[in-house]
Chain A
Amino acid sequence: NAGVTQTPKFRVLKTGQSMTLLCAQDMNHEYMYWYRQDPGMGLRLIHYSVGEGTTAKGEVPDGYNVSRLKKQNFLLGLESAAPSQTSVYFCASSVPWQTNSPLHFGNGTRLTVT
């Protein structure tokens, strides 16, 4: 069972470059999320989606864009990378209205912006 798959696992960008992180889930989950995690900061929600074709801003959306053209995929884009976006990025999916239905996480993408 694949679950939630993130690509790439690692990436190094130069300031100003762009890239897209891909998250794919095969569990037919409605909700998908992008988080970033920095030392001492915990997980912070960047953007989320409550269904195909929908996206919404989370806690720290600036500098990122997202798209959910297909239910199983949630893309996170950095149009012009900045060193402040150096972080570990996690994607997750869930069916949160089902009581006790947990989030499922991808393995993470470690991004360094120089």
Chain B
Amino acid sequence: RKEVEQDPGPFNVPEGATVAFNCTYSNSASQSFFWYRQDCRKEPKLLMSVYSSGNEDGRFTAQLNRASQYISLLIRDSKLSDSATYLCVVTPSSGGSYIPTFGRGTSLIVHP
């Protein structure tokens, strides 16, 4: 089983739609969780950290479910500019290894 798994998509949605992605992780000792956005093989850019209590940034909401070991990203009122690949990143907290693990990304296409 991969350490961090994401549905590669693509998710093809109309403008204005609400779309949600999940990301599962296998290391229960993970301590930090992030969503990154990547456009067309440019560098990944931090979209938002994911906090235990869940957090919101405008149209984006991230949640963490430690019991089921997944994080989610909800995008409301999708814009054409939201089209990108969304990467899930998980950092462990134990064993002296803090090397982040990336999912392979979920592709989102927002169409008019």
Interface residues of B in 33-71 (CB under 8 A from A): 34, 41-46, 49, 51
**In the docked arrangement, what's the CA distance between A108 and B45, Å?**
12
Q: How large is the interface on B (under 10, 10 to 19, 20 to 34, 35 or more residues)?
A: 20 to 34
In the complex, A41 has a CB within 8 A of chain B = yes
**In the docked arrangement, what's the CA distance between A35 and B32, Å?**
20
| Chain A residues near B (Cβ < 8 Å) | 31, 33, 37, 41-43, 45, 48, 50, 58, 88, 90, 94, 96-97, 99-108
**Chain A residues in 8 Å Cβ range of B99:** 31, 33, 45, 48, 58, 96
Which secondary structure dominates where chain B touches chain A?
loop
**In the docked arrangement, what's the CA distance between A88 and B100, Å?**
19
**In the docked arrangement, what's the CA distance between A88 and B31, Å?**
29
